Amino acid sequence: MINTVEDFNEVFFIGIAGVGMSALAQYLQGIGKNVSGSDRYFLSDEPNKTRSQLEAEGIKCFVQDGSGITSNTQLVVVSTAIEDTVPEVLKAKSLSIPIIRRSELLSIIAKSKKTVALAGTSGKSTTAAMLYHMLEKANLQPSIISGAGLTSLIKQNKIGNAAVGSGDWLIIEADESDGSIVQYKPEIGVLLNIDKDHQEIAELLDLFGVFKNNTNSLFIVNQSNRQAKTMSTNANSDFGFEAENCGYSVENFKQDGLELSFTIKDQPFGMTSLGRHSAENAAAAVAVAHQIGVDLAVCAESLRTYEGIYRRHQVLGRKNGVWVIDDYAHNPAKCAASIRACQPLADKVVAWFQPHGYGPTRFLKDDFIQEISDALRPEDEIYMSEIFYAGGTAVKDISANDLIEGIKNKGKKAFFVENRDDLLEIIRPKLTVDTLLLLMGARDPGLETFSKNLFEKL
């Protein structure tokens, strides 16, 4: 029975290249475990960047043929996408090796530290990165297990989604999409927002309610989010955007190009980012750090040098007067917030979005149409390419064009480009000086390359 991190030493990850799995693998390697893993993207005759980065950390990587699991393996970790027919699963079962899911392992790791768990339907990775940076600046030597790569760590040629520090604090993301959020019992729980994403609001309220009850010490919520606000336990510990009834309210907010400025508790803050949602995320991180004992001036100093995270309003550059920004936005609230955050930068925003999954797109269809339509100015345009399909069983009874037609019917400029490789030539005439091109989408591993190639060809 695996109950603590002391109960195993040899651990194998099936699907180790995934962002959630690779973060756990790196963390365990960093605390002295013998870590190995396989992935369907690892092929014997092809180079793989993630594999190389994992191997550079001392993690042994294998093709997904069962060869990596031996009688010495004490624990096997699987992601939700791993099926029972995968060779490693069959071999682990034949050897009676315990098999647990990624979320179970994260909950076991979280018990070993003083944990801050960040929850909500948007902003978890960004807030985690900001908080990590603040605690580092305060010399608290924090650890982090994140859903996205921190730019400061990526610059060290790392994947960037995990780091092991010698201090007491561990920062994690508590995911509601698969229900695993109920497994965590953090020292500090943070609820950033509650918006319709993978589940209906009523279901989300139930999940976040359990998360609140499982939090041991301090529960912090966003007083500016209507649903999150209902779960407040102490407004003095909460954060918000121009929210009178909270301890850490963003005030005097200004966006000048890529620079944000604001105050919290009369402390001036400045950071390179976009949008009020970035300031809200910063306020969440400040609320945690300050109540842990970090001085507000140190928080402000750390935000001034904060470099962001991978594909979260990542500025690819400016060419011929056109800004190009790559973003992970993938649900209605995130897409709308991303569009609005870019509008102060340019007279016209040309946005492109690739929805992911037929089920999620069908579930959120009306919300996508309404939220994106509300965000678009008369001069702005939205383009969509066909839904990303990751495989498995799916009823393909919806198209991205259905979203486009709905947005058109609301009087906005919306266009369907089935194949994203055709996008640049179609939009090129629209990319005049003082235009911003915003690329949005998630889950598709090819999006990073697509965005960078498009910028190069601009």
356-384: pLDDT as tens digits: 989 889 989 999 999 999 999 999 999 99
Distance CA 103, CA 79 (A): 8
**Pick from 59-68, 308-317, 424-433: least confident:** 308-317
Question: pLDDT at position 196, please?
Answer: 62
Question: pLDDT at position 286, please?
Answer: 98
Q: What average pLDDT does the chain have? A: 93
β-strand pairing of 169-173 with 114-119: parallel
Question: pLDDT at position 425, please?
Answer: 95
Pairwise pLDDT comparison (210 vs 313), residue with the higher score: 210
DSSP string, 39-50: ETT--TTS--HH
What three-state secondary structure class fits 395?
coil
What three-state secondary structure class fits 422?
helix
Cβ atoms of 105 and 49 within 8 Å: the answer is no
Cβ atoms of 176 and 205 within 8 Å: the answer is no
Distance CA 188, CA 229 (A): 17
Half-sphere exposure in the Cβ direction for 328 (13 Å, CA): 17
DSSP string, 230-267: TT-S-GGG-EEES-TTSSEEEEEEEEETTEEEEEETTE
Q: Per-residue confidence at 7, pLDDT binned at 50, 70, 90?
A: very high
Question: pLDDT at position 37, please?
Answer: 97
Distance CA 232, CA 206 (A): 15
Cα 15 to Cα 74, 86, 254, 419: the distances in Å are 17, 10, 43, 28
Where are the extended beta strands (E) located within 87-174?
A: 99-101, 114-119, 143-145, 162-163, 169-173
Beta bridge partners of 351: 382, 438
167-200: pLDDT as tens digits:
999 999 988 766 678 889 999 999 999 876 556 7
DSSP string, 182-224: GG---SEEEE----SSSS-HHHHHHHHHHHHHH--SEEEEBTT
Location of structure tokens 């490693």: 88
At 246, give phi and psi (nearest 5°). -155, 160
Where is 35: in which H helix or E strand?
A: strand 34-39
Please report, rounded to a whole number, the percentage of residues in the chain having pLDDT higher than 70: 98
Position 403, amino acid: L
Question: pLDDT at position 203, please?
Answer: 83
